[in-house]
Amino acid sequence: MGIVYGTSNMLLKSALRVFGEWRVEGRHNVPRKGKVIIASNHLSDIDPGILNVSIPRRVQFMAKAELFDNPVIGQLFKAYGAFPINENGKEFYSINHSLRILNREGAMGIFPEGAKNPTALGRAMLGTALIAMMSGAPIVPVGITGTESIGNWIGYCYPKGNFKITIGKPFFVSHPTARRIRKDVEFATDTIMKHIAELLPERYRGVYHDLWHGERSYTSPTLWWNEQFSNTDL
């Protein structure tokens, strides 16, 4: 499992039990073997850690690229199982690395919003749906509440609050058709986000609340997308 991963999880579990109220529902919904994508809302920087101690499998998470700028800190994150996601035209690394994890029957974690939204669900990136479609992996939706109260590194050491992790049942998204890839991926993205929203209290659902009627916008891995699907109708 690795000393960094095992030690970090042990310390975080202890801190959550001592300083906070930590509840996990639906652990039985996580497949114990085979490829799987863990997709969750994102309230705080502690979310990858709290998911790793809540999910009964080792999960490798995408993390923002700047966390790897410091060589020492970057190595620690890599030892923990994190890998960088870029938003500078090099998203193909993150997507291809995700596919490699899944092709090895591993579990990868991702926050479809691509950034923290501590108040409610915001617009999603298309990468999660694209990875799911290309890999054929089941998606396990997760709803996190309470971690928005943790705002700095001191809070990670003393996580005070009421934290609830709700794990939903796995589901699949269909493979895109040859000439409607963009629309199919947008539809799959909405499907993923609605599954996550169903696991959250109404005030956390944001643009995926049933009563929200505005137009959603999406972000996509432009360079990688264009290289892979240059001959299709995007």
| pTM score, whole prediction | 0.88
Tell me whether residue 56 is exposed, middle or buried, using C-beta atoms within 10 angstroms of its C-beta: 0 to 12, 13 to 18, 19 or more.
middle
In the block, tokens 């300083």 appear at 19
Kindly tell me if the per-residue pLDDT of 77 is higher than 80: no
Which tens digits make up the pLDDT trace of 148-191?
988 776 777 889 999 999 999 999 998 766 667 778 888 999 99
Domains and CATH numbers, the chain: 3-228 (3.40.1130)
Average pLDDT over residues 92-108: 90
What is the rounded distance in angstroms from the CA atom of residue 77 to the CA atom of residue 83? Answer: 7
Which of 60-64, 150-154, 159-163, 211-215 has maximum average pLDDT?
159-163
Inter-residue contact 133 to 126 (CB < 8 Å)? no
Average pLDDT over residues 99-119: 93
Q: Which residues pair with 107 in a beta bridge?
A: 36, 59
Which residues are CB-contacts of 116 (< 8 A; sequence separation ≥ 6)?
42, 43, 44, 45
